[in-house]
Amino acid sequence: MGEYSTDAPLISNDDNAAAFEKKMPILKSTAKWILKGLMWVVFIIWISLMLLYPLEFMNKLLIQYMNTTSGSLFGLTGSILLAFSAPVLIIAFLSVIFLSITGEDEIQQKIALKPKFCLWTFPVLVDGPFGVVSAAEFIGILLVIAFIINGSAA
């Protein structure tokens, strides 16, 4: 009974805790790596589609795609919607698979060596019309106000 006291924490931060980590099977880690890679590839293709959209060769490809798919059930609007939203749906589907594979494996505790400034949690306005406003929210409010002022000046 002498080893347990009210001053000692119930959960220790010993180096012994690292010995109890679960080893992830190679198939599971490979599947996670492949899914992450596929999500990045789809995301990069989607962003490049957005960036290359104004170019002439991309317009020709898009017109050819629209002519091919315009006879479908949803018509021209559906084919354009599918071209620009399908990558988001693919990424969402792959992320659901990724999360079902990982389960509880991704829980990690990051130990900070020294206190750091967190933009999204640092309170800037405490007693105002919006309640407690963090620094990130305050920057967002300033950007919206600047957008409104810029829009009304034009």
Q: Are residues 80 and 47 in the same domain?
A: yes
Q: Are residues 37 and 99 in the same domain?
A: yes
Residue 12 pLDDT > 60: no
Q: Count the domains in the chain.
A: 2
Q: Are residues 126 and 74 in the same domain?
A: no
Distance of CA 93 to the CA centre of its chain: 14
Q: Which domain holds residue 83?
A: 22-107
Q: Are residues 96 and 132 in the same domain?
A: no
* Structure confidence by residue, pLDDT tens digits, 33-55: 999 999 999 999 999 988 998 89
pTM of the model: 0.54
Half-sphere exposure of 63 (CA within 13 A, CB side): 7
Q: Are residues 98 and 120 in the same domain?
A: no
